[in-house]
Amino acid sequence: MSDETEQQRIARRADAFEMLMMNIPTAAHPHRGDPELAARALEILSEPVPDAKEPDET
């Protein structure tokens, strides 16, 4: 995935966020969604961002 452009990376993360929002249970709908899709979306969203700088620990 190293040759992925910034625009493609943002689109991929936006799609994953939408997938997560559509598949997480809520108080009103505790059995909504697919837990496997939600887990995959979380994996995508937690992937490291290339060239991201670590926050300073001050």
pLDDT tens figures, 3-31:
678 899 999 999 999 999 998 888 898 89
Angle between helix 35-45 and 6-23 (nearest 10): 150
Cα–Cα dist 31/43, whole Å: 21
Cα–Cα dist 47/16, whole Å: 11
pLDDT tens figures, 32-56:
889 899 999 999 999 988 776 666 7
| Dihedral Cα 37, 1, 4, 12, nearest 10 deg | 10
Cα–Cα dist 38/14, whole Å: 14
The kind and range of the H/E element at 32 are none
Predicted TM-score (pTM) of the model is 0.70
